[in-house]
């Protein structure tokens, strides 16, 4: 079965990519870093920080936004929040509600599509000290009636499980170092242990990726993992990240080198029924690992 096209966000671009050939369209650029991706099938939502890691603009002055693309790839944006969206990471869209991780303020911004109102939620309370980024909340997923928030913690990381709809903390699982993303692996929980360059789970399973893994998507017959180069902060926007493609037994099949795109930040399958835009192709090199 052919893998769907992939949406990929990097330091510099929002890309649409063929995962076999590496042929890509640059959907948007110049608003980096681009980060989280979500879709309700009618629209695609993308977080844009409007600031690069290497920017001279202080992080406290960052003002991110949520871009919205329709099926013709026309770009609009959500109404601005009444508070700054700073250090946007992953976003999650469910039942007309958008959750946006904002690591700088140790909070999650929530946009209610029915009331068109924004609110701030601090999963572990409002930090009393500066800087506020204590837990570096960066990833979200819903499992049954529980919202799982990944707390990177700048070291040993936690999966925090909150009961919906009242956001009561019901469980905490220690897993990974500088972790990103969360998914189920059978009865176990798994994450990117980004600080260790590998994927790990609560049942002891590991896969070495090298670099800084972040972004995982399951594509039927294969799994794609984003990996960024390890680099000094002011050089990260000028590196070459990779997409690694594994089979269902986690054997590495190939990689795609995202030349000069900087960090790889999120990966998402193109929704069914969407067509590529009529734009010039970019060719990223595919490297077979077999």
| DSSP helix/strand/coil, 207 | strand
Domain boundaries of the chain, sorted by first residue = 6-288
Percentages helix, strand, coil for the chain, rounded to the nearest 5?
5, 50, 40
Element (H, E) at 254: strand 252-258
- At 280 the pLDDT is 85
Q: What is the pTM of this model?
A: 0.95
Backbone angles phi, psi at 276, to 5 degrees: -65, 155
For residue 254, what pLDDT is reported? 96
CATH class of the domain at 6-288: mainly beta
pLDDT of residue 290: 64
- Tell me the CA distances in angstroms from 236 to 43, 126, 260, one per residue in order: 30, 30, 10
> 44-69: string of b/e by CB count within 10 Å (b at 16+)?
bbbbbbbbbbebeeeeeebebbbbbb
Question: Going residue by residue through the chain (290 aa), what tens digit of pLDDT does each one get?
Answer: 567 899 999 999 999 999 999 999 999 999 989 999 999 989 999 999 999 999 999 999 999 999 999 999 999 999 999 999 999 999 999 989 999 999 999 999 999 999 999 999 999 999 888 889 999 999 999 999 999 999 999 999 999 999 999 999 999 999 999 999 999 999 999 999 999 999 999 999 999 999 999 999 999 889 999 999 998 888 889 999 999 999 999 999 999 999 999 999 999 999 999 999 988 899 999 998 76
The pLDDT value recorded for residue 2 is 64
């Amino acid at each position: 079965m052919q893998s769907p096209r992939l949406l990929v966000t990097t330091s510099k671009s929002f890309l649409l990519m063929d995962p076999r050939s590496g042929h890509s369209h640059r959907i948007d650029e110049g608003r980096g870093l681009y980060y989280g991706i979500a879709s309700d099938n009618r629209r695609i939502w993308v977080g844009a920080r409007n600031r690069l890691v290497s920017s001279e603009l202080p992080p406290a002055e960052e003002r991110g936004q949520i871009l919205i693309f329709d099926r013709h790839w026309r770009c609009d944006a959500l109404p601005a929040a009444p508070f700054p969206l700073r250090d946007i990471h992953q976003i999650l869209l469910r039942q007309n509600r958008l959750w946006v991780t904002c690591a700088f303020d140790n909070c999650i911004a929530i946009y209610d599509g029915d009331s068109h109102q924004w609110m701030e939620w601090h999963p572990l309370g409002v930090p009393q000290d500066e800087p506020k980024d204590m837990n570096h909340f960066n990833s979200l997923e819903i499992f049954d009636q529980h919202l799982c928030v990944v707390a990177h913690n700048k070291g040993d990381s936690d999966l925090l499980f909150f009961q919906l709809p009242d956001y009561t903390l019901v469980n905490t699982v220690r897993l990974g170092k500088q972790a990103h993303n969360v998914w189920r692996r059978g009865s176990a929980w798994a994450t990117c242990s980004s600080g260790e360059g590998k994927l790990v789970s609560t049942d002891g399973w590991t896969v070495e990726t090298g670099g800084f893994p972040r972004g995982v998507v399951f594509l039927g017959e294969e799994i794609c993992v984003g990996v960024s180069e390890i680099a000094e902060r002011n050089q990260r926007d000028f590196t070459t990240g990779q997409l690694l493609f594994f089979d269902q037994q986690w054997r590495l099949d190939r990689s795609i080198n995202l030349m000069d795109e900087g960090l790889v930040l999120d990966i998402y399958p193109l929704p069914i029924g969407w067509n590529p835009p009529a734009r010039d192709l970019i060719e990223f090199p595919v490297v077979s690992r077999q």
